[in-house]
């Protein structure tokens, strides 16, 4: 896994791009192979129609005009006009077909990347700013879509054009053709000298673009904090610095990129001048006027696609920097996978055991959990308490298999979680994370996310149990009220009530509430507790809470500190011990007394 990264750090490239990796792009072209073949046939016909022009001109100058052969002149003119029409129709079809194929490729590649992201563990998203992930799915894919479709087909078109042109040129005069190719080795050497620096420059540019995107994403997400502390000027100053890094990287990359184009143009101009010089020297002796004029036309037909090929090569080198990042993401191995022989978890009762479980987030990091063992009988409510960073959330994340245990095992109804499929496990669990996320859409849609086939009545019923119905009824359109991403128009407590209703609707056998009442006022919490009491009946529940008053009725309270279970028992038992739980409870009680 890539080391943890921030917006002001260039990402470390974990695997260097190999030219053989371009073969992977064939996977996206394969479904469109027949359509591409038809496009190539169209391109071939169009190229022949265009290239026919100088040859018709040669016949007209050398034969038809000197002999005053009007029928031949009319025939040549008609043929030339027809060739132009054919070339226009072929070109028009090529643009339409290639655009459609390019957009299809864009969707295919972006879908594969997005689908792969859904399979990656929390650790991947924890290790880098989300803006650096977003730029891969949007910007980098957009850059590649034109290369994969339009650029690749145009490359084949240009190669066909060069080959057909060479055939005509050799047919007219093979000596002049060889003279025209004399500077090709110089062009190849020039491209070779530039490509390495260009690739490095665009790799650096992709890093700076990624940093800029990450900072913009972070600053938008934290805009309330920025304005709350009046730090707008500091945010703008930071943005200017990151944006300036991007500008300088871009200018350096473009400076190297455009070094190839003028080189090709200069070589083309020198070659044309050389043919003029040699052709005029041999005019009337070896070379006819019509041949020279036709040949000069073919020189342009030859070098124009060569210039295009050079531009494609430029684009290819540029795209390599983006491909490296895209393939790096696609090659990121999902850490949480179904075992080869995994089976669907049957309907569970909810008997949960942690057996000597230890866990670390990264291989080189110290253990976060140490030898955790406990038994939650089906239907029991287990509360996890302790100071911030003690490991409470980590325990419930392991139960949901958002991470895999480092050592030990976790069983549900005596079935090891590693042996069952993730879908069958999580479908029987309801998880309310510490950070409540509300999707853009209606209130009804947000609650129904817990079970997509739920009826409107079932959604309303879950909202009533969660005590969310009362405030929903006060909204302009009730359950059909549209909220924005993160639910910015709702209070923190309202967002948590909606998230709680979402979990209730899923009707899980195992319920996990991570700080479920953290953002709810005391009055609302009292109402919610009534619904909770009904909900918890017959379910195995895990509640992470800092408010110890909310978990006094728990069947078992686990006190976690420094990744270890330091105390376990019921509320009255732990209070009688006068240990760590007693001190936590007493300090909270004293704080509430002081507030009152």
Beta bridge partners of 544: 384, 514
Mean pLDDT of the 200-228 span = 77
DSSP state letter for 374: E
Mean pLDDT of the 102-109 span = 81
Q: Is the pLDDT of residue 249 over 70?
A: yes
- What is the predicted pLDDT for the residue at 315? 72
Check residue 548 and give left, alpha or beta (phi > 0: left; psi -120 to 50: alpha): alpha
Burial label for 504, CB within 10 Å (0-12, 13-18, 19+), is buried
375-431 tens-digit pLDDT = 999 999 999 998 888 899 899 989 989 888 999 999 999 999 999 999 899 888 888
538-566 tens-digit pLDDT = 789 998 877 776 688 889 999 999 999 99
pLDDT band with cut points at 50, 70 and 90 for residue 128: confident
- What is the predicted pLDDT for the residue at 15? 52
Mean pLDDT of the 278-289 span = 64
Residue 475 CB contacts under 8 Å (≥ 6 apart), including other chains: 443, 481
Compute the 3-state secondary structure of the chain and give helix, strand, coil in percent, each to the nearest 5: 65, 10, 25
524 or 73: which leads in pLDDT: 73
Is the CB of residue 42 less than 8 Å from the CB of residue 91?
Answer: no
The tokens describing 33, both together, are 């192979």
Residue 491 CB contacts under 8 Å (≥ 6 apart), including other chains: 519
Beta bridge partners of 430: 511
Q: Is the pLDDT of residue 17 over 60?
A: no
Q: Is the pLDDT of residue 371 over 80?
A: yes
Residue 585's Cβ-side half-sphere holds a number of Cα atoms within 13 Å equal to 19
Sheet with 540-544, side-by-side order of all strands: 429-432, 510-514, 540-544, 381-385, 556-561, 564-569
Residue positions counted in the chain: 596
- What is the predicted pLDDT for the residue at 436? 75
450-505 tens-digit pLDDT = 888 889 999 998 888 878 888 889 888 889 988 876 666 787 778 878 888 888 88
Q: Is the pLDDT of residue 111 over 70?
A: yes
Using the Cα atoms of residue 251, residue 252, residue 258 and residue 259 in order, give the sign of their dihedral.
positive
Using the Cα atoms of residue 478, residue 534, residue 420 and residue 331 in order, give the sign of their dihedral.
positive
Lowest mean pLDDT among 310-314, 436-440, 559-563: 310-314
Mean pLDDT of the 107-133 span = 80
Beta-strand ranges (E) seen in 360-458 are 369-376, 381-385, 407-412, 415-416, 429-432, 441-442
260-278 tens-digit pLDDT = 667 667 777 777 777 777 7
Mean pLDDT of the 52-61 span = 79
Mean pLDDT of the 92-115 span = 82
Q: Is the pLDDT of residue 361 over 80?
A: yes
- What is the predicted pLDDT for the residue at 369? 94
- What is the predicted pLDDT for the residue at 395? 93
- What is the predicted pLDDT for the residue at 158? 78
- What is the predicted pLDDT for the residue at 2? 44
Q: Is the pLDDT of residue 218 over 70?
A: yes
d(CA 70, CA 372): 100
Q: Is the pLDDT of residue 519 over 70?
A: no
- What is the predicted pLDDT for the residue at 531? 59
d(CA 321, CA 207): 9
Domains of the chain from N-terminus onward: 19-330 (1.20.1560.10), 339-428+511-519+542-596 (3.40.50.300), 435-507 (3.40.50.300)
527 or 478: which leads in pLDDT: 478
Beta strand 407-412 with 352-359: parallel, antiparallel or unpaired? antiparallel
DSSP per-residue codes, 482-550: EE-GGGTTS-HHHHHHHHHHHHHHH--SEEEEESTTTTS-HHHHHHHHHHHHHHHTTSEEEEE-S-GGG
Distances from the Cα of 375 to the Cα of 15, 20, 254, 380, 397, angstroms: 44, 53, 63, 10, 17
Q: Is the pLDDT of residue 160 over 60?
A: yes
Is the CB of residue 154 less than 8 Å from the CB of residue 31?
Answer: no
CA 241 to chain centre: 25
What backbone phi and psi angles, to 5 degrees, belong to 234? -65, -40
Q: Is the pLDDT of residue 252 over 50?
A: yes
Which pTM was predicted? 0.66
Q: Is the pLDDT of residue 355 over 90?
A: yes
332-354 tens-digit pLDDT = 887 788 888 899 999 999 999 99
Whole-number percent of the chain with pLDDT over 70: 83
- What is the predicted pLDDT for the residue at 1? 42
- What is the predicted pLDDT for the residue at 153? 65
What backbone phi and psi angles, to 5 degrees, belong to 12? -80, 125
What backbone phi and psi angles, to 5 degrees, belong to 5? -140, 150
């Amino acid at each position: 896994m890539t080391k943890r990264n921030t917006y002001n750090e260039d990402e470390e490239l974990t695997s260097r791009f190999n030219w053989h990796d371009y073969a992977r792009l064939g996977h996206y072209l394969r479904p469109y192979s027949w359509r591409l073949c038809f496009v190539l046939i169209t391109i071939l016909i169009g190229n022949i129609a265009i290239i026919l022009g100088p040859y018709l001109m040669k016949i007209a100058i050398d034969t038809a005009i000197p002999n005053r052969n009007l029928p031949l002149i009319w025939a040549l003119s008609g043929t030339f006009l027809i060739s132009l029409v054919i070339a226009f129709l072929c070109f028009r079809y090529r643009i339409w077909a290639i655009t459609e194929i390019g957009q299809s490729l864009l969707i295919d590649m972006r879908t594969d990347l997005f689908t792969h992201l859904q399979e990656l563990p929390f650790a991947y998203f924890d290790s880098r700013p989300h803006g650096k992930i977003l730029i891969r799915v949007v910007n980098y894919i957009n850059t590649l879509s034109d290369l994969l479709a339009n650029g690749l087909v145009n490359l084949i078109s240009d190669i066909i054009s060069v080959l057909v042109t060479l055939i005509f040129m050799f047919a007219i005069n093979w000596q002049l053709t060889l003279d025209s190719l004399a500077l090709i080795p110089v062009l190849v050497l020039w491209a070779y000298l530039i490509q390495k620096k260009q690739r490095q420059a665009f790799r650096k540019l992709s890093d700076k673009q990624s940093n800029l995107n990450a900072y913009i994403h972070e600053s938008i997400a934290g805009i309330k904090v920025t304005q709350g502390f009046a730090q707008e000027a500091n945010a703008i100053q930071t943005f200017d610095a990151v944006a300036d890094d991007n500008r300088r990287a871009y200018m350096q990359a473009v400076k190297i990129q455009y070094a190839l184009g003028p080189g090709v143009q200069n070589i083309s101009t020198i070659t044309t001048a050389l043919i003029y010089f040699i052709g005029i020297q041999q005019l009337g002796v070896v070379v006819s006027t019509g041949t020279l004029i036709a040949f000069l036309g073919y020189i342009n037909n030859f070098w124009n696609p060569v210039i295009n090929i050079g531009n494609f090569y430029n684009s290819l080198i540029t795209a390599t920097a983006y491909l490296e990042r895209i393939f790096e993401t696609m090659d990121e191995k999902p850490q949480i996978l179904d075992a080869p022989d995994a089976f669907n978890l049957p309907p569970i009762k909810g008997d949960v055991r942690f057996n000597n479980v230890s866990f670390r987030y990264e291989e080189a990091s110290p253990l976060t959990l140490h030898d955790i063992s406990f038994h939650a009988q089906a239907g029991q409510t287990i509360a996890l308490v302790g100071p911030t960073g003690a490991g409470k959330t980590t325990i419930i994340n392991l139960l949901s298999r958002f991470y895999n245990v480092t050592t030990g095992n976790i069983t549900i109804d005596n079935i090891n979680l590693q042996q069952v499929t993730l879908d069958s496990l999580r479908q029987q669990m309801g998880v309310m994370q510490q950070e409540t996320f509300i999707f853009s859409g209606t209130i009804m849609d947000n609650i129904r996310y817990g079970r997509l086939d739920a009826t409107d009545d079932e959604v309303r019923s879950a909202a009533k149990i969660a005590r969310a119905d009362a405030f929903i009824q006060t909204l302009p359109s009730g359950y059909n009220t549209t909220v924005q991403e993160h639910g910015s128009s709702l209070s923190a407590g309202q967002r948590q009530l909606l998230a709680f209703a979402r979990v209730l609707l899923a009707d899980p056998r195992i319920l996990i509430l991570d700080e479920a009442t953290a953002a709810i006022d005391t009055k609302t919490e009292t109402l919610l507790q009534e619904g909770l009491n009904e909900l918890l009946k017959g379910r195995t529940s895990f509640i992470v809470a800092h408010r110890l008053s909310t978990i006094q009725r728990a069947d078992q309270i686990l006190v976690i500190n420094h990744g270890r279970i330091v105390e376990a028992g019921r509320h009255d038992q732990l209070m009688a011990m006068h240990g760590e739980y007693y001190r936590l409870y007493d300090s909270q009680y004293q704080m509430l007394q002081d507030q009152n």
